[in-house]
A and B are shown apart, each in its own frame.
Chain A
Amino acid sequence: MVFGIGSGLFFSYLPFVKLNGLPVTSYRILPGWIFKRVSNRLGISMHSTTFRSETKAMEELDRTLEKGLPVGLLTSVFYLPYLPKALRFHFNAHNIVVYGKRNGKYLVSDPVLEEPCEIDYDDLVRARFAKGTMPPKGKMYYPTTVPSTVDFKPAIVKGIKQTATDMLNVPIPLFGVKGIRFLAKSLKRWPDKLDERRAILYLGQVIRMQEEIGTGGGGFRFIFGAFLQEASNHLQQPWLQEVAQEVTETGDRWRDFAFEAGRICKGRASSSVSYQTLSDILMECADREKAIFTKLKKITL
């Protein structure tokens, strides 16, 4: 629901921006934007600060916790020792909730884990003050006013409309449906332009961005489908159920893409599966999403 109201779904392919030396693809909007949009649309006001001093950042955290408020923190996954080692990259946009302190350790609810866990003072400082791309600068936030009743309907319509606009109408061919087509066209040329190893690494990065933890599978497409179903019930608009069905099918095609790409990475692909095939699947996804969002754009209350 939050993902949908915040218009989280997106696509961008930025070949000139490199992450670990590989071009960036993203299946969602920028970190922090969902949050901002949801707060605006539901009328929740948040208090949010960043810090220059590590000690001050931790003191402020302690004070807020003493008031009994859970606090959202922006952290880097690299410094969170409780996560599986394989996921710990320098990724500075991981949000966790700290809800208390016991015996000098902070109690954490991390969206990646099923159970709450604990973290040391020192580790938390490191995670909050990681460096690199988009440094978190100790950012912390908590809600100050939450309206007692919320009318979800206008917020849902706004969320869906904006997603459709984002996907269809950004006049730069790197984003939305055009971005998917751009990736499809570029990907075809990877085996010619790059040596085999690099081409495979490029592919691997796309798979990871699509299927990593938190995406719900299929590059957030399934989460969006689930949102549309909820939206359909809220708004009493049954046609959204059918669109949700189409979104699910498209998500399945994205999964097919990742599966075939994985086979190429492993060197197991038969001659029938090539970069050309992958490109074709992506083109199909682009066409399907174009149709979906053209329909969704017309949504009214």
Chain B
Amino acid sequence: MEKDQVPQDFGALEGVRKVLYATDENGNYTKVKTAGWEPENIALDQVWEVINEKVEAARQKVLAGKASPLLFYLEKNMLTKWMLSELTGISWFRITWHMRPSAFARLDQKTLEKYARAFNISAAQLLKPE
């Protein structure tokens, strides 16, 4: 790729510029800064679309009383139950159990704090998601 052909498609990188290696008029490589490239932006947008859909689905479930806020925060942080289990030290089975609103409502403060810490929020936020 030649230096003057380096794309500058502003998008997912939000103003962070990354380095591309391109050739100058003599065919020698130099580093060129770029604001992004359309195909990469498309690919990134696409991934986020999927993630946001999952978060939205989880939100609806929580609002409908079919799942506890745990599910919403799990999706929002792009975690799996296994990762959450490693972060909190709470077993996979118990996490699955706490996904039920009824079980979640009975959680003690200590367990709530553990979850809240893993999601980097306060326990109060965990109880009342936006």
Interfacial residues, chain A to chain B (CB-CB below 8 A): 20, 78, 83-87, 89-90, 112-114, 126, 131-132, 135, 200-201, 203-205, 207-208, 211-214, 216-218, 222-223, 225-226, 229, 244-245, 248, 251-252, 255, 258-259, 261-263, 265-266
Q: Is the CB of B99 closer than 8 A to any CB of chain A?
A: no
With the chains together, A207 CA to B38 CA distance in Å? Answer: 11
| Residues of B contacting A245 in the complex (Cβ-Cβ under 8 angstroms) | 27
Which of B15, B28, B29, B79 neighbours the largest number of chain A CB atoms within 10 Å of its CB? B29
Interface contacts beyond A78-B78, A211-B43, A216-B21: sample of 19 additional A-B pairs, CB < 8 Å, sorted by A: A84-B12, A84-B13, A86-B12, A86-B44, A135-B86, A205-B43, A205-B47, A207-B40, A211-B37, A212-B40, A216-B19, A216-B20, A217-B1, A217-B37, A222-B29, A225-B23, A245-B27, A259-B39, A262-B43
With the chains together, A203 CA to B39 CA distance in Å? Answer: 11
Q: List 27 A-B contacts (CB under 8 A).
A: A85-B14, A89-B47, A112-B18, A131-B86, A132-B86, A204-B42, A208-B44, A208-B47, A211-B40, A213-B16, A214-B18, A216-B21, A217-B1, A223-B21, A225-B23, A225-B29, A229-B29, A251-B1, A252-B1, A258-B40, A262-B38, A262-B40, A262-B42, A262-B43, A265-B39, A265-B42, A265-B43
Which single residue of chain A is at the shortest CB-CB distance from B19? A216
Is the beta-carbon distance between A126 and B120 smaller than 8 angstroms? yes
Is the beta-carbon distance between A266 and B12 smaller than 8 angstroms? no
Is the beta-carbon distance between A204 and B12 smaller than 8 angstroms? no
Which of B16, B38, B83, B87 neighbours the largest number of chain A CB atoms within 10 Å of its CB? B16
Q: Which residues of chain B from 74 to 95 have a CB within 8 Å of any chain A CB? A: 77-80, 82-83, 86-87
Closest CB of chain A to B2's CB: distance in Å? Answer: 9
Which single residue of chain B is at the shortest CB-CB distance from A228? B29
Which of A78, A86, A266 neighbours the largest number of chain B CB atoms within 10 Å of its CB? A86
With the chains together, A152 CA to B100 CA distance in Å? Answer: 61
Is the beta-carbon distance between B39 and A262 smaller than 8 angstroms? yes
| Residues of B contacting A200 in the complex (Cβ-Cβ under 8 angstroms) | 46
Closest CB of chain A to B82's CB: distance in Å? Answer: 8
Closest CB of chain B to A172's CB: distance in Å? Answer: 27
| Residues of B contacting A114 in the complex (Cβ-Cβ under 8 angstroms) | 16-17, 33
Interfacial residues, chain B to chain A (CB-CB below 8 A): 1, 12-23, 27-29, 33, 37-40, 42-44, 46-48, 50, 77-80, 82-83, 86-87, 120
Closest CB of chain B to A50's CB: distance in Å? Answer: 15
| Residues of B contacting A78 in the complex (Cβ-Cβ under 8 angstroms) | 77-78
Is the beta-carbon distance between A222 and B83 smaller than 8 angstroms? no
